[in-house]
């Protein structure tokens, strides 16, 4: 019988990180994400790869700059947290339902940002996010990396629908979503937390990529049928 493993805990030890695994034989849907063939998702002058320990300072930089703090949902990273995240990045990718990939520049392999992904409850639906180091912004890196991630995920059968949420006013992120082929699907009131304790609305964007047999399904992302009415999702912000 095929044996499957699930990550329960990662414990820091003097010798490194110890992964505590649970074995299970009764479930066909592992939590994790598939191995990346060739270890890179190539996106022109960029590529995506699994996190590595040397990415810790990039994570700290991405999480703590002023723009990221302005739009963040979670507290910034300490050096220790970032080191843990970088070190366990591959385990998170393979064994859990949320992970990140490093965006790297092909010319010099510099880590320039992150694509974050979480499996949502309906199978095949992803929540995605992105951050780019301040010194590398304004080169369409986030949009290109996001586009490559979506295409790769669809091609390997991992996801067919990608969702992301943006706080009103985050125009850089709105541009990324638009350039990566996402469609505005509506405004969700008070869905996002602000770090001052308040609540922000979410501008909800999605992209659908159907491959093979799934293409036959009716899934025009520009229209949603609700209660017998077809609602156009033309941008309204």
Of residues 184, 52, 198, 171, the one with CA closest to residue 111? 52
Q: Per CB under 6 A, does 227 bind ligand COA?
A: no
Q: Per CB under 6 A, does 102 bind ligand COA?
A: no
Identity of the residue, 32 or 144, whose beta carbon is nearer to ligand COA in the bound complex: 144
Q: Per CB under 6 A, does 126 bind ligand COA?
A: no
Identity of the residue, 52 or 67, whose beta carbon is nearer to ligand COA in the bound complex: 67
The H-assigned helical ranges of the chain are 56-64, 66-71, 79-87, 89-95, 141-155, 171-179
Length of the chain: 237
* Residues 17/11, Cβ–Cβ less than 8 Å: yes
Q: Per CB under 6 A, does 5 bind ligand COA?
A: no
Q: Per CB under 6 A, does 182 bind ligand COA?
A: no
Which range, of 48-56, 120-128, 134-142, 183-191, touches ligand COA by CB under 6 A? 134-142
Which range, of 35-43, 84-92, 139-147, 223-231, touches ligand COA by CB under 6 A? 139-147
Q: Report how far residue 43's alpha carbon sits from residue 105's, in angstroms, rounded to the nearest whole number.
A: 10
Q: Per CB under 6 A, does 51 bind ligand COA?
A: no
User: Pairing relation of β-strands 161-166 and 125-132?
Assistant: parallel
Of residues 121, 138, 132, the one with CA closest to residue 48? 132
Number of residues that bind ligand COA (CB under 6 A): 22
Give the tokens for residue 10: 């990662």
Q: Per CB under 6 A, does 143 bind ligand COA?
A: yes
Which range, of 32-40, 43-51, 129-137, 189-197, touches ligand COA by CB under 6 A? 129-137
Q: Residues with Cβ < 8 Å from 179, sequence gap 6 or more?
A: 140, 143, 147
The residues binding ligand COA (CB under 6 A) are 67-68, 71, 129-132, 137-143, 166, 170-173, 175-176, 179
């Amino acid at each position: 019988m095929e044996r499957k493993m699930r990550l329960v805990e990662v414990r820091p030890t003097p010798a490194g990180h110890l992964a505590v695994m649970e074995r299970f034989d009764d479930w066909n849907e592992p939590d994790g994400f598939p191995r990346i063939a060739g270890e890179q998702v190539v996106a022109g002058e960029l590529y995506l790869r699994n996190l590595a320990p040397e990415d810790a300072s990039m994570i700290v930089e991405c999480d703590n700059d002023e723009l990221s703090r302005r739009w963040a949902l979670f507290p910034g990273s300490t050096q220790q947290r970032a080191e843990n995240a970088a070190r366990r990045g591959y385990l998170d990718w393979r064994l859990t339902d949320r992970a990140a990939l490093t965006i790297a520049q092909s010319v010099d392999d510099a880590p320039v940002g992150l694509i974050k992904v979480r499996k949502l409850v309906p199978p095949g639906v992803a929540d995605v996010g992105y951050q780019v180091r301040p010194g590398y912004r304004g080169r369409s890196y986030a949009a290109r990396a996001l586009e490559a991630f979506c295409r790769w995920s669809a091609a390997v059968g991992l996801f067919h629908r990608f969702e992301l949420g943006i706080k009103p006013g985050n125009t850089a992120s709105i541009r990324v979503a638009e350039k990566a082929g996402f469609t505005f699907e509506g405004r969700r009131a008070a869905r996002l937390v602000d770090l001052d304790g308040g609540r922000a609305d979410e501008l909800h964007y999605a992209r659908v990529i159907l491959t093979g047999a799934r293409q036959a399904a009716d899934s025009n992302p520009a229209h949603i049928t609700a209660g017998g009415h077809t609602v156009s999702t033309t941008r309204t912000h």
